[in-house]
Structure 1
Amino acid sequence: MTNTEPKAPDTETDELQRLGEQLLRTAKSSRARAAVQALVEERTILAVPAVRRALVTDTLDGAQAHFEALSGRQYGLGLDEGQRAFLHLVLPMVGIGITTLASVQDLDDHRLPIMLRAILRLTGNNDIAVGRHL
């Protein structure tokens, strides 16, 4: 017997998707857009309420990412090591902090391709694909 009842919508996922779209719309630079896109793709960091409280600022144009406020609180956000490593690589995209490129060794198989795509976005390169090589 198959279950044909419609699946209940995941309101948290929908809310995060709308927030991500809004933050992308209000990003003031290509660097901010690349950083926001990386956080949107990574998903788990934006899902943390403390991150949203620190990052999101209400403006006349709607919600906007305020990375400076996030950087000062990054150790008190309750992130795990993988999330923190990813955030440490995202923040320099918008000119906050200095993180060595060797930090990519702390990224897992989910976060590494996201970071690679973010770096390509920073360069304006849309020709190189990032994915698994078999």
Structure 2
Amino acid sequence: MTTTETETTTPDADDAEFRELCEQLVRTAPSPFHRAAVQALVEERTILEVTAVRYALIVDTDHGPTARFEGLSGRQYTLGLDEGQRSFLGLVLSMVGIGLTTIAAVRDLDERRLPIILRAFLRLAGNDTIAVGTRM
């Protein structure tokens, strides 16, 4: 196998492994609040791709990897995240009752992250009738 073949096959394997991990984290979420928070992180993706975040967030249990948000408490500034990622993570943590991030943090979110967090808020509220998308 050449180097080029290795480079083209490895990302697919890594991507499949990442998707499997994300599905497991959603499946093992202990409450609707945690599930909404995990789904937001999965949709955002770049935060979960940071090794330090996964190390602080994910614990192995008898049922497989599970997200334990308590591991991220107070560590947002030591994880190597940019400002937008930290704001997003702060809002996600507030969904599970951790941290003191105010709703005003949405001002730091870009056009990709804002709809993700809005959908997460709707999931948290148990509302599946309001659509989040571009206004006409």
Q: TM-score of the superposition, structure 1-length normalised?
A: 0.91
Aligned to 1:17: 19
Distance 1:49 1:68 in 2: 17
Among 74, 77, 80, which residue is 1:75 paired with? 77
The structure where helix makes up a greater share of residues is 2
Question: Is the aligned partner of 1:29 residue 2:31?
Answer: yes
Residue by residue over 1:34-78, the C-alpha shift from the partner in whole angstroms, topping out at 9 and shown as x without a partner, is 000000000000000111000000000110001001123221111
Q: CA RMSD in A?
A: 1.2
Distance 1:133 1:71 in 2: 35
Code of the residue aligned with 1:72 in structure 2: it is G
Instruction: Tell me whether 60-69 or 70-79 shows the greater mean CA deviation.
Output: 70-79
Instruction: Tell me whether 70-79 or 40-49 shows the greater mean CA deviation.
Output: 70-79
Which segments of 5 or more consecutive residues in structure 1 lack a partner in the other structure? 1-6
Q: Could you say what secondary structure the match of 2:60 adopts? A: strand
Aligned to 1:85: 87
Distance 1:11 1:129 in 2: 33
Distance 1:28 1:90 in 2: 15
How many residues are paired up? Answer: 128
Which segments of 5 or more consecutive residues in structure 2 lack a partner in the other structure? 1-7
Aligned to 1:44: 46
Identity %: 66
- Give 1:85 shift: 0.8
Code of the residue aligned with 1:23 in structure 2: it is L
Distance 2:122 2:27 in 1: 19
Among 94, 109, 134, which residue is 1:107 paired with? 109
Aligned to 1:127: 129
Does the Cα contact within 8 Å between 2:57 and 2:72 map onto a contact in 1?
A: yes
